Amino acid sequence: MVATTIAHLNKLKANGEKIASITAYDATFAKLFAACGMDFMLVGDSLGNVIQGASSTVPVTTDDIAYHTRCVRNGAPHAFVIADMPFMSYATPEQAYANAAQLMQAGANMVKLEGGDWLVETIQGLFQRGIPVCAHLGLLPQSVNVLGGYKVQGREQSAAQRTLEHALTLQQAGAQLLVLECVPVELAAQITAQLDIPVIGIGAGKETDGQILVMHDMLGLNTDYLPKFVKNFMHDADSIEAAVTAYIKAVKQQTFPAAEHIFK
């Protein structure tokens, strides 16, 4: 199996081909996702919710992410793997360098940070030190206590403009990928069109360059609450492999997300 790289993801964007991605936390699922043709996997701090049973991502530590990154890498040696940098692990550039190095040494190809232009110096420093960065704008789960809950971001014109400006600034700083979470579809389309780097949406419509879902949501395992932007692909599948394949196909053919999964 040929290893996926950021150059490959850039080529998909340039060719107008959609990127399919998913969270992964262990070797078994990572191996299955890779075999099905997933473009990349994210070792998300969502493991705090779906693995550890916490009410938010805040309790997750860098050691937690490093452990699960190692597991995913062992299951999918050639996959493109992004590791989340958890809450307060990049409060200063120096913190970010040390913690990102730990995640890269655990097997990540890239690290993901939540936040806007306050991260410029950190992203520049990581890039200069050979650590690729995925930025994350829109709904920021690590900031849920400041945001007052899990709410759609960027509906007001000023907030939308600010999000666009942050996206452009982070790209200029060296970010090579961007995740947009829970933003109106028009804003997501505008940002995707203006950025040269791939933009991956979750609750951001299908005009982004690709999609990502938490694997437990995509497989219908989250019985407590199913976000509007999620589709249970196990509903019409007779196996997990079939559900994963259906998800990738739906992203590639742009049948997911559908109208009922987007925010306006």
User: Per the annotation, does 84 bind a ligand?
Assistant: yes
Among 62-71, 113-122, 145-154, which is the least confidently predicted range? 145-154
pLDDT category of residue 153 using cuts at 50, 70 and 90: confident
**Is 45 labelled a binding residue?**
yes
pLDDT in tens, 161-179: 999 999 999 999 999 999 9
Integer Cα distance of 138 and 181 in angstroms? 5
145, pLDDT greater than 80: no
Examine the residue annotation and report whether 181 is marked as an active-site residue of this protein.
Answer: yes
Given 17, 121, 181, 207, which residue is catalytic? 181
Please report the pLDDT score of residue 226 as a whole number: 77
pTM: 0.95
Residue 253, CA atoms < 13 Å, CB-side half-sphere: 7
Task: Give yes or no for residue 160 having a pLDDT over 70.
Answer: yes
pLDDT at residue 146 in the model: 63
The domains found in the chain, sorted by start residue, are 6-253 (3.20.20.60)
Calculate the alpha carbon distances from 36 to 119, 141, 182, 203 in Å: 35, 28, 27, 23
Q: Is the pLDDT of residue 159 over 60?
A: yes
Q: Which residues contact 78 (CB under 8 A, 6 or more apart)?
A: 1, 2, 3, 4, 34
Helix (H), strand (E) at residue 133: strand 133-138
Query: What are the tokens at 34?
Result: 């890779």
**How far out from the chain centre does Cα 212 lie?**
6
